[in-house]
Amino acid sequence: MDLLQDISIALQSGNCEKVEALVRQILGKKVLPKDVLDKGLIAGMNVIGEKYKNHEIFLPEVLLAAKAMYTGMDVLKPLFLKDEMPTLGRVVIGTVHGDIHDIGKNLVAIMLRGAGFDVIDLGKDVPAEKFVEVAVQKQARVIGMSALLTTTMPAMKSVVERLEKRGLNGKIKTIIGGAPVTADYARHIGADAYGYDSVNAVEWIKRLTT
Amino acid sequence: MRKLLERLAAGEVLVADGAMGTMLMERGMQIGQPPECFNLEHIDVLEEIAREYLSAGADIIQTNTFGASRLKLSQYSLEEEVAEINENAVLAVKKVAADQAYVSGSCGPTGKFLKPYGDVEPHEMVDVFREQISALIDAGIDVICIETMTDLHEATFAIKGARRVSSSIPVMATMTFDRTPKGFYTVMGVSVEEAAKGLEIAGADIVGSNCGNGIENMILIAQEFKRYTKLPVIIQSNAGKPVLEADRAFYPETPEFMAEKAGALISLGVSIIGGCCGTAPAHIRALRKAVDSCKG
Residue A75's domain is classified under what CATH number? 1.10.1240.10
In A, residues 8-67, which contact B (CB 8 Å cutoff)?
A: 14, 55, 57-61, 63-64, 67
Phi, psi of B59 (to 5 degrees): -90, -20
CATH of the domain at A148: 3.40.50.280
Q: What is the ipTM, given to two decimal places?
A: 0.91
Q: What residues of chain A lie within 8 A of the CB of B75, using their CB?
A: 100
| Domain match, A31 and A120 both | no
Q: For the structural domain made of B4-295, what CATH number should be given?
A: 3.20.20.330
> Is the same domain home to A78 and A96?
no
**DSSP symbols for A99-167:** ----HHHHHHHHHHHHHT-EEEE--SSB-HHHHHHHHHHTT-SEEEEE--STTTTHHHHHHHHHHHHTT
The size of the A-B interface in CB pairs under 8 A is 62
Residues A125, A44 within the same domain? no
The pLDDT tens digits along chain B (296 residues) read 789 999 999 999 999 999 999 899 899 998 888 999 999 999 999 999 999 999 999 999 999 999 999 999 999 999 999 999 999 999 999 999 999 999 999 999 999 999 999 999 999 999 999 999 999 999 999 999 999 999 999 999 999 999 999 999 999 999 999 999 999 999 999 999 999 999 999 999 999 999 999 999 999 999 999 999 999 999 999 999 888 776 677 899 999 999 999 999 999 999 999 999 999 999 999 999 999 998 75
CB distance A55–B185 less than 8 Å?
yes
* Residue A77 pLDDT: 87
- For residue B31, give the nearest of A59, A103, A151 by CB distance: A151
**Tens of pLDDT along A181-194?**
999 999 999 999 99
Question: Whole-prediction pTM value?
Answer: 0.92
Residues of the domain holding A18: 2-83
pLDDT at residue A18, as a whole number: 98
Does one domain contain both A101 and A155?
A: yes
Q: Quick one: which of A2, A111, A5, A7 has its CA closest to A50?
A: A111
Domain boundary among A54, A83, A112: A83
End position of a domain, from candidates A83, A107, A135 = A83
Q: Are residues A104 and A67 in the same domain?
A: no
d(CA A64, nearest CA chain B) in Å: 5
Chain A residues within 8 A of B31 when measuring between CB atoms: 97-98, 151-152, 155
How far is the C-alpha of A13 from the C-alpha of A65, rounded, in Å?
Answer: 6
| pLDDT tens figures, A47-87 | 999 999 999 999 999 999 999 999 999 999 888 876 567 88
Q: B14: closest CA among B56, B57, B77, B49?
A: B57
Burial class of residue A133, CB neighbours in 10 A (0-12, 13-18, 19+): middle
Counted domains in chain A: 2
